[in-house]
Amino acid sequence: MRIKRYRGLFIQVIVSTLFISIVALFINNLSVNLLRAGLGLNFSWLFRSAGFALAEHPLPYSPSSSYAWALFMGWLNSLKVISSSLLIATLIGFLVGFASTGTNTLLRILSKLYVTLIRQTPLLLQLMFWYFVGFLSIQGEIFSPIKGMLSLSNQGIILSGINLSPEFSSLLVGLGIFTAAYISEVVRGGINSVPIGQWEAFRSLGLSENDGLYKIIMPQALPAILPGLTSQYLNLAKNSTLAIAVGYADIYAIGDTVITQTGRAIEGFLLLLLSFLLLNLIISNLMELLNKYILTYKQR
């Protein structure tokens, strides 16, 4: 027994030493390289003026604003595109999930087709498609059922006076449709985890399919759906960094510009990490709250 314990300690010491020495070697190389380039680690450059313009900024911003403010604008832009495509993805995802477990065979085939098509092609390609083919190639207004309320054009989407840029719109549509395919699979899995007897029981009571889904199946499926939903939301947040490909100024795109301008790679990278951490924390905490709410609602 004692020999065993010492052996465990021995392995740990060796692995830790190995690990620490590798890290130390890396850090040593890093500092040598940084010193050579005349770049010590510091953050004071954050408060110098950024000098670049931003097409979209939720709060007042000009090229004379600081790098820190520019990064914050990027973070807010990320938050904006994440939260809005999250709503769209959830809506479509649940609808497709319902359709893929529903009684209409045509609808089932169609949702299966949608899911495979979306999942077997890269998201980046899809985003470029929505941007270059979906929005920039539109000639004139193609869709405006109510004048001034909703219109689609190469200027983006206009929704009751709010003008969404084509960059934002293509991200919104692309991320929404992409994530919805994954969410629909989560929803389908959750619904299928409810025993078949529950369906038979509500049907035998004469309840309609909609009533049964809403009153009987979903309350039991939700606990199984929520964890998957959370990880899809986190994926959505991570995937939103592909915004750079369509020229939308999210946190990563601005971080990229800032690093290229200042050469402050390490600091810039650390700031990027921090902002992602913050986004992740927001999403997982909100989902945790939702989870608790649903559990208490369930038990009453």
Partner 1 sequence: MNKKHNLFPYIRRIAFSNSLDTCITLFILLAVFLLSTITIKWLLFGADWAVVIQNYPLYAFGLFPADQRWRPALWLLLLISLTIITLVGPRWRWLRKLLPITWIGVIPLGIVLLSGGLGLLPVASRYWGGVTLTIFLTTCSSLLAFPLGIILAIGRQSDLPLIKFFSSIYIEALRAVPLIAILFFGQLLIPLFFPIGVEINRVIRAVLAFTLFVSAYVAEDIRGGFQSIPKSQEEAAKALGLSKLQITQFVILPQALIIALPALTNQAIGLLQNTSLMAILGLVELLGISRSILANPLFIGRYMEVYVWLAGIYWLICTVMALLASHLEQKVTIEKLTIKN
Partner 2 sequence: MTSVIRTRKLVKTFSKGLRALDEISMEVKKKEVLVVMGPSGSGKSTLIRTFNGLETFDSGELEIVGIPLHSDHNERNVREIRKRVGMVFQQFNLFPHLSILENITLAPIKVQKQNRIEAEEHAMSLLSQMGIITQARKYPSQLSGGEQQRVAIARALALKPELLLFDEPTSALDPERVGEVLDAIRSLAEKGMTMVVVTHEVGFAKEVADKVLFMDSGKVIETSTPEVFFTNAKHERSRKFLNQIGE
Q: Which residues bind partner 1 (CB under 8 A)?
A: 8, 11-12, 15-16, 19, 26, 29-30, 32-34, 36, 103-107, 110, 117, 120-125, 128-129, 132-133, 137, 238-239, 241-242, 244-245, 252, 256, 259, 265-266, 269, 272-273, 276-277, 280
Among partner 1, partner 2, none, what binds residue 125 when CB lies within 5 to 8 Å by partner kind?
Answer: partner 1
Measured distance between the N- and C-terminal CA atoms of the chain, rounded to whole angstroms: 50
Read off φ and ψ for residue 110, nearest 5 degrees. Answer: -65, -40
Q: Which of 244, 99, 240 is nearest to 176 (CA)?
A: 240
Among partner 1, partner 2, none, what binds residue 273 when CB lies within 5 to 8 Å by partner kind?
Answer: partner 1
Identity of the residue, 202 or 248, whose beta carbon is nearer to partner 2 in the bound complex: 202
Q: Which of 191, 187, 159, 188 is nearest to 173 (CA)?
A: 159
Binding footprint of partner 2 on the chain (CB under 8 A): 195, 197-198, 200-208, 211, 215-216, 219-220, 298
Identity of the residue, 98 or 114, whose beta carbon is nearer to partner 2 in the bound complex: 98
Query: Least distance to partner 2 from the beta carbon of 204, Å?
Result: 4
Query: Least distance to partner 2 from the beta carbon of 191, Å?
Result: 14
Q: Where are the alpha helices (DSSP H) in the chain?
A: 2-36, 67-101, 105-119, 123-128, 166-192, 196-204, 209-212, 218-239, 251-262, 265-299
Instruction: In whole angstroms, give the CA distance from residue 78 to residue 23.
Output: 32
Identity of the residue, 141 or 200, whose beta carbon is nearer to partner 2 in the bound complex: 200
